[in-house]
Copies of this chain bind each other. A is one copy, B any other.
Amino acid sequence: MANITKKVSWSSRADESAAAGEATPLLNGSEQPQHSRQDSLRGRPKEIPHNEKLLSLKYESLDYDNIENQLFLEEERRMSYMGFRCLEISRWVVCGLIGFLTGLIACFIDIVVEQLAGIKYQVVKENIEKFTEAGGLSISLILWAVLNFTFVMVGAIIVAFFEPIAAGSGIPQIKCYLNGVKIPRVVRLKTLVIKVCGVICSVVGGLAVGKEGPMIHSGAVVAAGVSQGRSTSLKRDFKIFEYFRRDTEKRDFVSAGAAAGVSAAFGAPVGGVLFSLEEGASFWNQMLTWRIFFASMISTFTLNFFLSIYHANPGDLSNPGLINFGRFEGDSVTYNLYEIPLFIAMGAIGGLLGALFNVLNYWLTIFRIRYVHRPCLQVMEAMLVAAVTATVSFTMIYFSNDCQPLGPESTEEYPLQLFCADGEYNSMATAFFNTPERSVRSLFHNQPGTYNPLTLGLFTLTYFFLACWTYGLAVSAGVFIPSLLIGAAWGRLCGILLASITSTSSVGAQHSSTIWADPGKYALIGAAAQLGGIVRMTLSLTVIMVEATGNVTYGLPIMLVLMTAKIVGDYFEEGLYDIHIKLQSVPFLHWEAPATSHWLTAREVMSSPVTCLNRIEKVGTIVDILSNTSTNHNGFPVVVQVPGSDEPAKLCGLILRSQLIVLLKHKVFVELARSRLTRRKLQLKDFRDAYPRFPPIQSIHVSQDERECMMDLTEFMNPTPYTVPQETSLPRVFKLFRALGLRHLVVVDDENRVVGLVTRKDLARYHLGKHGLEELQLAQT
Contacts and interface: CB of A to CB of B under 8 A. Distances in A.
Given A270-B546, A298-B556, 18 more contacts: A81-B772, A84-B596, A269-B552, A269-B555, A270-B270, A270-B555, A278-B289, A281-B283, A281-B284, A290-B539, A293-B559, A317-B334, A320-B552, A719-B727, A720-B729, A722-B736, A748-B752, A751-B752
Contacts of A336: 315
A505 to B, nearest CB: 20
A301 interface: yes
A312 interface: no
A352 B731 CA distance: 48
B334 A286 contact: no
Interface string A281-302: 1111111011001100110110
Interface stretch (A71-79, A113-121, A390-398): A71-79
A305 B337 contact: yes
A592 interface: yes
Nearest to A304: B553
B315 A283 contact: no
A595 B81 contact: yes
A652 B599 contact: no
Given A719-B727, A722-B736, A278 B270 contact: no
Contacts of A77: 598-599
17 contacts: A80-B596, A81-B768, A84-B595, A270-B555, A282-B739, A285-B592, A286-B539, A297-B555, A315-B335, A318-B553, A550-B552, A650-B751, A720-B725, A720-B727, A722-B724, A723-B723, A735-B740
A285 B598 CA distance: 18
A780 to B, nearest CB: 31
A758 to B, nearest CB: 13
A316 interface: yes
A250 interface: no
* This protein's copies in its complex: 2
A553 B283 contact: no
Interface residues of A, number: 89
Given A559-B297, A727-B720, A740-B735, A591 B317 contact: no
Contacts of A462: none
B552 A551 contact: no
Contacts of A154: none
Interface in A725-750: 725, 727-729, 731-732, 735-736, 738-740, 748, 750
A750 B650 contact: yes
B286 A283 contact: no
Contact of A289 (B293, B539, B553): B539
A74 to B, nearest CB: 9
A762 interface: no
A285 B591 contact: yes
A68 B547 contact: no
Contacts of A318: 333-334, 553
A538 interface: yes
A547 B552 contact: yes
Contacts of A723: 723
A277 interface: yes
A472 interface: no
Contacts of A724: 720, 722
A559 to B, nearest CB: 5
Nearest to A740: B739
A194 to B, nearest CB: 31
A543 interface: yes
A542 interface: yes
A267 interface: yes
Contacts of A300: 552, 555-556
Contact of A736 (B334, B543, B740): B740
Contacts of A596: 79-81, 84
Given A81-B772, A552-B550, A650-B750, A283 B739 contact: yes
B750 A591 contact: no
A19 to B, nearest CB: 37
Contacts of A722: 724, 736
A347 B555 CA distance: 30
Nearest to A732: B68
A467 B729 CA distance: 53
Given A556-B301, A596-B80, A284 B284 contact: yes
A132 B30 CA distance: 95
Nearest to A652: B750
A283 B650 contact: no
A36 to B, nearest CB: 29
A525 to B, nearest CB: 15
Minimum-distance CB pairs A-B, first 7: A283-B739, A84-B595, A76-B598, A281-B284, A720-B728, A284-B284, A739-B739
